[in-house]
Amino acid sequence: MTLIKSISGIRGTIGGPTGDTLNPLDIVKFTSAYATFIRKSGKSDSNTIVVGRDGRISGPMVKNIVCGTLMGMGYDVINIGYATTPTTELAVRMSHSAGGIIITASHNPRQWNALKLLNNEGEFLTKEDGNEVLRIAEAEDFNYADVDHLGKCTVDNSFDERHIQSVLKLDLVDTEAIRKAHFKVCVDSINSVGGLILPHLLDALGVEYKFLNGQCTGDFAHNPEPLEKNLGGIMNEVANGGYDLGIVVDPDVDRLAFIQEDGKMYGEEYTLVTVADYVLDHVKGATVSNLSSTRALRDVTEKHGCKYYAAAVGEVNVTTKMKEVGAVIGGEGNGGVIYPESHYGRDALVGIALFLSSLAQKGCKASELRASFPNYFIAKNRIDLQPTTDVDAILAKMKAKYSSEKDVQVTDIDGVKLDFPTKWVHMRKSNTEPIIRVYSEASTMEEADALGKQMMDEILRMV
């Protein structure tokens, strides 16, 4: 069993001994630490914290403990019930709350759950703030409210509709063009909250749809990560004909992947690329993605005469860079679209609306739209090491080796990334395991994998 404590929250499997799984005692401890941090930070005068959850089976248990603990800390709770991650983020802003907790393990399997922590802007905590929450939790430096100052809990189910309305009001969401296109789509919402909110979004856009795994039971029909190997069901359904597009979301609806009208994967790396191209068609400005995302975003950005920037892996790192450079669009290659005109968070609803707007305005098939972008392939490998291995020293040696190489750009803000003229490789250590992740990209999968394997061999010779 597993319990992972990090700057972004607490994540683990349900059931088992304390300190080794996501259990009631650790949920209380971490929620108390978060509430203590929010109060000490003094960033908001509000005394309310928003709590939303995805459809996981363990959700009611975790939610009840979280809400009760926050009330015990003297906070009023706005319980928004079943909610996507982006809905919860927007709910914090819309309610002017002091923070929010999203109960979701994102793309992890059904036995997992997690607490994702938000600040008063509805955004993930910075590294420094996350570390402070961990410190408070370790010290158990809590002070609970007396009987006259306990918080109260109210239920507010209005935020799904408010989220949808905020998407429809975005200037670049062309609702008229989408309605005129008469799209028919198939959606796999993995038996979680996407099955609750996406029908209402599609109805508002005038899109005809069929849902697979649309019941919010939390009993996921397949591995919930939206990768091709997990999506045979919807790919076959779309391939049988009659659909313009397949739409896939993860359990908390912040990641988004598409299936072409021919049943083939559009490529989750190209979700952001396509949306960015559409945005840049209308508004010029910088773009941002993380170091492990496809080079196609850089190519598309430069085609529009704009500047691309790379950030360290992690949503908060991407949003921080986006604010720094004033990016008009950004995100992550895992299907995460971050559109500042809406909010600084990955949002599949925004991604769907902008993608459909692009498809409708261009009047083409999904496969034709995909073919209009540069074609790259990413190979993902890993090196398992001993816990005593000095990973930082190994990466430093790789940086030193290639820093003097001509035609190689070296970036070290997150591990080491080597940018060659026609390909790249990114090597970074895991925060939770003694491994080095080796991601590489080239114009063919064979070349990408060969580059990754070359670097792995070089690293192993250093161990």
Q: Catalytic positions, please?
A: 106
- State the Cα angle at 411 between 407 and 415, rounded to 5°: 130
Alpha helices in 295-387 (DSSP H): 296-303, 315-325, 348-362, 366-371
What is the gyration radius of the CA atoms in the chain, in angstroms? Answer: 22
Phi/psi for 444 (5° steps) reads -135, 155
Cα distances (angstroms) measured from residue 276 to each of 31, 266, 286, 330: 36, 15, 10, 7
Q: What SS3 class is residue 219?
A: coil
End-to-end CA, the chain: 29
Burial class (CB in 10 A: 0-12, 13-18, 19+), 3: middle
According to DSSP, the residues that pair with 330 across neighbouring strands are: 288, 338
Six-digit token string for 50: 């928003």
Walk across the sheet containing 245-249 and list its strands.
208-212, 184-188, 245-249, 256-259
Q: Which residues contact 48 (CB under 8 A, 6 or more apart)?
A: 75, 76, 77, 78, 95, 97, 98
Report the half-sphere exposure of 298 (CA within 13 A, side-chain side). Answer: 15
Residue with token string 């959700």:
59
Report the half-sphere exposure of 86 (CA within 13 A, side-chain side). Answer: 33
Give the integer Cα–Cα distance in Å for 88 and 397: 43
Give the integer Cα–Cα distance in Å for 232 and 19: 37
Angle between helices 194-205 and 348-362 (to 10 degrees): 30
Q: What SS3 class is residue 362?
A: helix
According to DSSP, the residues that pair with 414 across neighbouring strands are: none
